[in-house]
Structure 1
Amino acid sequence: MAQAPRPEDVYASARTEGERRLSMSALEQASTGFIAGVTIVFGIVALGMVRELVAPDFADGVGQLVGALAFGIGLVFVVVGRTELFTENFFDPVAAALHRRRPAAIWQLVRLWTLVLVLNFVGGAVMAAVFTVEGTLPAGAHHTLALMAEEIAAKEGLATVTRGVAAGTLLTLLSYLLHAVGSAGSRIALAYVVGFFLALGPFDHVVVSGLHLLSGIWLGADVSYADLGLNVVLSGTGNLLGGLLLMTLTHAVQVRGTR
């Protein structure tokens, strides 16, 4: 039975991938961010459709569970397609930037994060516009998606931050674990499990929650653009805290301690 790779080997693999991402042209970074935004919406819509199908006959808890199982496919699409959500660019590129130890690397990080985040929303908005047209989804799915958007908007501010910390930690952990496995099947399984857990929380990923709120606005939910902006700020802050402090920097310290 093959042993798991050593932390320093995982970190070295992440650093190599981070170098590739930092060196990508702005067009490449923008396009991978755009495609990730498009594909993650399929997970959001799958969650809404499944909850609508299950909830009328079962308790809400069962609907939430089955919906989370459906959402996992969205993250599988992102990982297998080698596109990038905002938080996926924490572990690998930061490892590369820390290795470079040059101010220019910071600006490359900022450009990467900005382009991917913005294009995640642009791509997701395009796909959300398609799915919010009446008749595109099964009857009742729009109503369920709107209710779920209202649930996200109703959360207390501190809870949104802490759920964002959980989401950032979880997605950055996925980035780390993907370097510890070697097969496509293992990558699919990891992405699916993390996607399931993310939706089961539900934990606030800045792009996923933001696109869900945007869809809710367009579907006539009791949600405003101010709610969307606030969620982006609060969940994004939590994502940064969880992804950078709890995962990326602690793994960097772990590797330095083994030298």
Structure 2
Amino acid sequence: MSERDGDAGADEREALDATVRSIGRPDAYILHEVIRRNGDQELRRHGGALFLSAFSAGLSIALSMIVPGALKAHLPAAEWAKALSSMGYAVGFLVVILGRQQLFTENTITPVLPLLHDRTPKTAWRLARLWAIVLAGNILATAAVAAVIAYAGAFPPELHAAFAEISHLTIAFDFWPTCVKAIFAGWIIALMVWILPATGTAATLVIVLMTWLVALCGLEHIVAGSVEAFYLVMTGAASLHDYAFRFFVPTLLGNVFGGVALVAVLNFGQVAPEVEEGKEADGKA
């Protein structure tokens, strides 16, 4: 979900997008092709561009802590207030996705489809390279922005109290419960990425509803949650060990499994016969 590289790639993507628009509700194969070709472009992007896009996403996703924290600090202590403040979680994702920035969880499906389509060591290496660059950019940015939030004095005490209360949930559970919560989050985010090409003008609503569900259910997202966990580390409420083993490792495993196994592989499976027929027709099987 980023800039297209090359006129040929842009022409192919535009042709597929035109097909999606023309038929209104694209079938599974058309959706697969839209996402796969977009993923193929991502795998070919320059490493520096990927990193800068990922770093930007890590900074932007901080809004998914700041906005809910601000809402929480200004709303009364009522049950309905939690549902409303949780909706603020969607703001960071809206900025990242509509701004075409690189978020790791989106990449558990988009560039995975080219690997499922073209199962070669070269494609696997490209996927591993993309994952490493994007995850590094995301996490470094979340640490930087968490430090600024914690130390810069830009927010009043009541907001810091709200940030701390929200952030505590990221390290409040043991390894396996955190991992399971992350599987659900990875599944939901990957489903969102899968259906976005078919949503047209309703894309913003889909992003808001799906990411709000992640927040409302208290699920774990490796990038948005890193802002919260690093905030706790910066303020002395948690240690780097807590971040690494109570949040990062189980959340990373869960998000990857939820996106790759539950969405990318399963949705590829339903179109695999058509994909293989197309490869045979092109003489690539």
Query: TM-score, normalising length from structure 1?
Result: 0.92
Question: 2:234 is matched with which residue: 218, 227, 239?
Answer: 218
Q: Cα deviation per residue 1:108-146 (whole Å; 9 max; x = unaligned)?
A: 101101111111011222222222235312331111212
Code of the aligned partner of 2:110: D
Q: Give yes or no for the alignment of 1:80 onto 2:98.
A: yes
Whole-Å Cα distance in 1 between the matches of residues 73 and 185 of structure 2? 24
Aligned residue number for residue 31 of structure 1: 52
Secondary structure at the counterpart of residue 55 of structure 2: helix
Aligned residue number for residue 224 of structure 2: 208
Tell me, yes or no, if the aligned pair for 1:74 and 1:195 is still in contact at 8 Å: no
Equivalence map 1:95-114=2 (5 Å):
95-114=113-132
Tell me, yes or no, if the aligned pair for 1:149 and 1:212 is still in contact at 8 Å: yes
Code of the aligned partner of 2:140: V
Aligned residue number for residue 15 of structure 2: none
Task: Show structure 1 runs of 5+ residues with no match.
Answer: none
Deviation at 1:244, TM superposition (A): 0.7
Question: 2:261 is matched with which residue: 213, 229, 245?
Answer: 245
Deviation at 1:37, TM superposition (A): 0.3
Deviation at 1:2, TM superposition (A): 6.2
Secondary structure at the counterpart of residue 125 of structure 2: helix
Tell me, yes or no, if the aligned pair for 1:15 and 1:96 is still in contact at 8 Å: yes
Aligned residue number for residue 123 of structure 1: 141
Aligned residue number for residue 26 of structure 2: 5
Aligned residue number for residue 256 of structure 1: 272
Deviation at 1:164, TM superposition (A): 0.5
Q: Cα deviation per residue 1:39-94 (whole Å; 9 max; x = unaligned)?
A: 0001211111211222xx322x3332122111111110011000121110121111
Whole-Å Cα distance in 2 between the matches of residues 51 and 220 of structure 1? 22
Aligned residue number for residue 62 of structure 1: 80
Tell me, yes or no, if the aligned pair for 2:142 and 2:226 is still in contact at 8 Å: no
Equivalence map 1:121-160=2 (5 Å):
121-133=139-151, 135-160=153-178
Secondary structure at the counterpart of residue 220 of structure 1: coil
Whole-Å Cα distance in 1 between the matches of residues 90 and 43 of structure 2? 28
Whole-Å Cα distance in 2 between the matches of residues 24 and 215 of structure 1? 32
Deviation at 1:251, TM superposition (A): 0.4
Aligned residue number for residue 189 of structure 2: 171
Aligned residue number for residue 67 of structure 2: 46
For the aligned residue pairs, the C-alpha RMSD in angstroms reads 1.7
Question: 1:162 is matched with which residue: 177, 180, 191?
Answer: 180
Question: 1:194 is matched with which residue: 200, 210, 233?
Answer: 210
Code of the aligned partner of 2:62: V
Whole-Å Cα distance in 1 between the matches of residues 207 and 177 of structure 2? 25
Whole-Å Cα distance in 1 between the matches of residues 204 and 156 of structure 2? 27
Whole-Å Cα distance in 2 between the matches of residues 58 and 146 of structure 1? 16
Whole-Å Cα distance in 1 between the matches of residues 168 and 109 of structure 2? 32
Task: Show structure 2 runs of 5+ residues with no match.
Answer: 1-21, 278-285
Tell me, yes or no, if the aligned pair for 1:36 and 1:120 is still in contact at 8 Å: yes
Secondary structure at the counterpart of residue 168 of structure 1: helix
Code of the aligned partner of 2:143: A
Secondary structure at the counterpart of residue 206 of structure 1: coil
Deviation at 1:257, TM superposition (A): 4.4
Whole-Å Cα distance in 2 between the matches of residues 32 and 151 of structure 1? 28
State how many pairs are aligned: 253
Deviation at 1:256, TM superposition (A): 1.6
Secondary structure at the counterpart of residue 190 of structure 2: helix
